[in-house]
A and B are shown apart, each in its own frame.
Chain A
Amino acid sequence: MNKYPLWKYVLLAVVLLAGFLFALPNLFGDFKAVQVTPRDGQLDPSVRFTVVEALKEAGLSDVELREDDNRLLALFTRDDDQLKARDAIDNALESRQNIIAMNLVSAAPAWLRSFAKPMYLGLDLRGGVHFLMQVDMEATIKSAEERYVSDWRRDLREQRIRGVSVGHRNDRISARFRSAEQRDEMYEVFRRDAFDLDFDTREEGEFFYIDAKLTELAADEEKRAALQQNITTLRNRVNELGVAEPIVVQQGLEQIVIQLPGVQDPARAREILGATATLEYRLVEGTAADWYAAGNSGTAPAGSRLYTQRLDGAPILLSQDIIVTGDQIKDASSGIDQQSGTPAVFVNLDGKGARRMQAVTAENVGNLMAVVYIENLIDYKEVDGERVKVTERVEEVINSATIRDVLSHRFQTTGLGADEAANLALLLRAGALKAPVEIVEERTVGPSLGADNIRQGFLSAVAGLVLVLIFMAWYYRVFGLIAGAALVVNLILIVAVLSTLQATLTMPGIAGIVLTTGMAVDANVLIFERIREEIRAGSTVQKAIDAGYEKAFSTIADANITTLIAAIVLFSLGTGPIKGFAVTLSIGILTSMFTAILGTRALVNLVYGNKRGAKLAI
């Protein structure tokens, strides 16, 4: 007799029901939504009111609104309505306080949404932009080491040692002395509180050197901090762009992955994410005559630096001391200057910056102050047949004006174009990148291709399933039908697990599901062939069933574990879409073991378990 205890049926029923429920949200499809998220995280009732009014005005009445997770969603079924609503809401709401983005949200009923979500679709299925950014770690280390250069110069001044040249050359900080005594003296001084440096001394010709590099530990810490801060800054910038459900994560030790679902304009995203623009405020030195003299000779007098003016390319001298840097800007917005009618950036300094600005301007009323616009551009050049990365730092004076009054924390800067002003304000708000980044990979999938991919993936999955079902039913008859039922349940379980884990479903992921459909029946084929063998060998029906399942089990386990090993290796290789394939394949292997062994056995027992001497339709 082949009977399963009641608890096994209960277990199967529970798994089946749970699988069905968790897979269910995927049947409802998506609403096209306009999403309003308040920047401070608190959804104000007035926002809802404003949105309703704005939608009414745009001729979109009876719009379904939904509030969850502190966001307000206006739901639509048509793309046009969504776009219209986005523009209307964008105009009506203060974008400084709210992030307005387009999104796809589940159309499943509320009771279902409360515990189950549909699968998370990858960019290749829903459309969007993917960036891989390489953080320039060489530059990070270099700038960290350069901080010591000024420490060394200070030490030398304090020790009254002159004629020493200090600088950052060939990836190390280097000080060149004329005598060994001075060198040895300073060696002790430099080492006193520089725990992060590895020191070295050497002699070359008539000179004596101290070289230093960051220790490996310190360099790693420096890199880690740069990466973390860049991620924070990039997250802020992505939020400024108004993207729903963005992903900004670390990949490896030097790279950052950014995924912006639904974004159709990679140019704008690229411009904002990779930008390094920032501002500096400095006092102007000397007169116009001094500037041109310095411009012609190419050298600046002591204490000042030579710049060019953006407007006419003319030279200008600025003080070596910076009053305020972009880091000290707490908030910024762009608009139009009331007096000149030109675009302006309105800047709000933090406490430290404001105090410094106040002190400097109080002493310098009547003098000129300049605003320097700084940008890092990365380029590749061919040098001796090798590709060399060149970071070019562009520094331009965008405006210089007489200080009329003492400035404190709020003031404005003109001299930029309207777009530039808007972008700069955004960048100042989001914070500067600690290390320069470079986009090393970009993938944009348009919405039409995403929709095609879903359609084609779905079609091949269904076609594959139907063919396998027909074949199995023809070849194994009742047992084939049972295996087919298990296969369908297996698919439901895969979808349920993917939905619950919120793993990303990609096109290769769908391919993995399709492949699993073909391979999952293998377990049943193994079992059924065994049963046939047993029957041929003269076994009774009940014995044959039992022996078939029994003997096939270890084979099935071995075969699946090795496939699982391959899938895990694939996962660890892991770039985006391929990971998706590995995930669905692994899940498929595990769920198919359950359905093909336990599930079919339950059905077989149900159909044949009580029939002594029955003939098997296998």
Chain B
Amino acid sequence: MMRNLIHNSKIDFMGLTRSTWIMSGALVILSLLILLIRGLNFGLDFTGGYIVEVGYPQAADLTVIREALATAQFPDASVQNFGSSQDVLIRMVPQEGADKALVSQRVIESLAGTTDGELDLRRVEFVGPQVGEALREQGGLAVLSALFAIVVYIWFRFEKKFSVGSVLALVHDVVITLGIFSLFQLDFDLTVLAAILAVIGYSLNDTIVVFDRIRENFRSMRRGSPAEVINTSINQTLSRTVITSLTTLLVLSCLLIFGGKIISGFALALIVGVVVGTYSSIFIASAAVLRLGITREDLMPVEKEGADQESVV
């Protein structure tokens, strides 16, 4: 027979909105506060600076490396293991004076004496401060323009109230995801920004599925208050919502576990975003539509209804 994780659920989601709105509101405010106080731990892409990643034949001695770098006039270099005890990541802020592009060269040269074996130069990155600044602006702009484009699309496809609801949910998701990155001071680089945009895409995907059903049910259910219609719609789509989130989380966990350090921030941002996004499509987007006073009349098709409307209930 059918396997069911969720079957015939009759949860009164809209009845829960008071507590969930308080919770979400608190989370959003908390996230904003954390962002304000701790800020984001911007990665090299946004700050500019240097990264040198080297692989040692044996476990690397970080103290020796720090000393070698200090001798070479890089006392501010941050040295840490990256992924394994053999991999070392060296980070530096932009240096004043000197030929920018040559700094990484000098770092590599100064490391030569830190091992008897051969160093494996895995990655060298240099980003000029002007590039980082431009990227920060572009990044913010990208998130805003994505939100804008989506508002327009939903307004066009659905209705103004849905448009507002979905954007509220998206802002909620983005702020909380950013808040978590700020709280744990996780590296915020370009791939994480890409993940944030993907979160917007995903969360919206979820929201639209619910909205679609709400619209359909408003048109087909003759009875029931808007709250009841929305509740029914969410319950009907709940199984799908949970399963899709589950499969997405499955692949993202694989990416987090097997994908390596470079992609882990991306995977983490999406995992947070998918969880928050699933929650928000129900409790923020749909609840907002209700609060904005959606009525059956808002959603009636312009053409004369009747012939092509099937009755589901």
Interface residues of A (CB under 8 A from B): 124, 132, 134, 264, 266-267, 270, 274, 377-382, 387, 438-446, 448-449, 452-453, 456-457, 459-461, 463-465, 467-468, 471-472, 474-477, 507-508, 510-511, 514-515, 517-519, 521-522, 525-526, 529, 532-533, 537, 551, 554-555, 558-563, 565-567, 569-570, 572-573, 575, 577-578, 581-582, 585, 618
Contact = CB atoms under 8 A, between A and B. Distances in A.
A440 B128 contact: yes
Contacts of A456: 258-260, 263
A566 B197 contact: yes
B262 A562 contact: no
A463 B258 contact: yes
Contact of B247 (A443, A477, A508, A521): A521
Contacts of B55: 448
A267 B105 contact: yes
B216 to A, nearest CB: 8
Nearest to B236: A533
A570 B247 CA distance: 24
B130 A134 contact: yes
Contacts of B194: 508, 570, 578, 581-582
Contact of B191 (A266, A511, A551, A561): A511
Contacts of A573: 138-139, 141-142, 193, 197
Contacts of A585: 198, 201
A75 to B, nearest CB: 26
Given A453-B262, A464-B255, A569 B240 contact: no
B190 A577 contact: yes
A472 B250 CA distance: 12
B123 A467 contact: no
Given A441-B126, A453-B260, A460-B254, 6 more contacts: A443-B125, A456-B258, A460-B251, A517-B251, A555-B213, A578-B191
A259 B138 CA distance: 22
Contacts of B257: 460, 463
A566 to B, nearest CB: 4
Interface stretch (B23-31, B33-41, B94-102): B94-102
A515 B3 contact: no
B124 interface: yes
Contact of A441 (B131, B154, B259, B263): B131
B2 A532 contact: yes
B150 interface: yes
Interface in B251-276: 251-252, 254-255, 257-260, 262-263, 266-267, 270
29 contacts: A382-B96, A439-B100, A440-B130, A444-B121, A445-B122, A456-B263, A460-B257, A467-B251, A471-B247, A514-B251, A515-B248, A518-B250, A519-B247, A521-B244, A521-B247, A522-B205, A555-B212, A555-B213, A559-B204, A559-B205, A562-B150, A562-B153, A562-B154, A562-B205, A563-B201, A565-B201, A570-B197, A573-B197, A577-B190
Given A446-B123, A526-B240, A518 B200 contact: no
A566 B198 contact: yes
Interface string B201-218: 110111011001100100
B73 interface: no
A467 B254 contact: yes
Given A449-B122, A460-B259, A562-B201, A569 B146 contact: yes
Contacts of A446: 120-123
Contacts of B102: 270
A441 B127 contact: yes
A544 to B, nearest CB: 12
A477 B4 CA distance: 12
B251 A468 contact: yes
Contact of A274 (B101, B244, B262): B101
Contact of A442 (B126, B138, B237, B243): B126
A265 to B, nearest CB: 10
B307 interface: no
A508 B266 contact: yes
A563 B200 CA distance: 8
A279 to B, nearest CB: 22
* Chain B interface extent, by class: 35 or more
Contacts of B173: none
B41 to A, nearest CB: 19
B96 A380 contact: yes
A471 B249 CA distance: 12
Contacts of A442: 101, 104, 124-126
A431 B132 CA distance: 31
B236 A457 contact: no
Contact of A575 (B190, B250, B270): B190
B239 interface: yes
B251 A464 contact: yes
A572 B148 CA distance: 15
Contact of A444 (B97, B123, B193): B123
A438 B130 CA distance: 12
A519 B241 CA distance: 11
Contact of B255 (A377, A438, A511, A565): A511
A323 B102 CA distance: 35
Contacts of B200: 566
- Please give me the 4 A-B residue pairs with the lowest Cβ-Cβ distance, nearest first: A464-B251, A440-B128, A566-B201, A518-B251
B58 interface: no
Given A446-B120, A529-B239, A471 B131 contact: no
A566 B204 contact: yes
B175 to A, nearest CB: 17
A558 B208 contact: yes
A525 B243 contact: yes
Nearest to B50: A442
Nearest to A589: B201
Contacts of B213: 555
Contacts of B262: 124, 453, 507
A618 B2 CA distance: 6
Given A514-B251, A521-B247, A566 B96 contact: no
Interface in B2-30: 2-3, 5
A461 B259 CA distance: 9
Contact of B250 (A457, A468, A508, A558): A468
A577 B3 CA distance: 41
B135 interface: yes
B22 to A, nearest CB: 28
Contacts of A558: 157, 208, 212
Contacts of B250: 464, 467-468, 471, 518
A475 B146 contact: no
B126 A561 contact: no
Contacts of A444: 121, 123-125
B222 to A, nearest CB: 16
Nearest to B244: A522
Nearest to A378: B99
B312 interface: yes
A582 B150 CA distance: 16
A515 B251 contact: yes
Given A511-B255, A525-B240, A563 B202 contact: yes
A577 B263 CA distance: 11
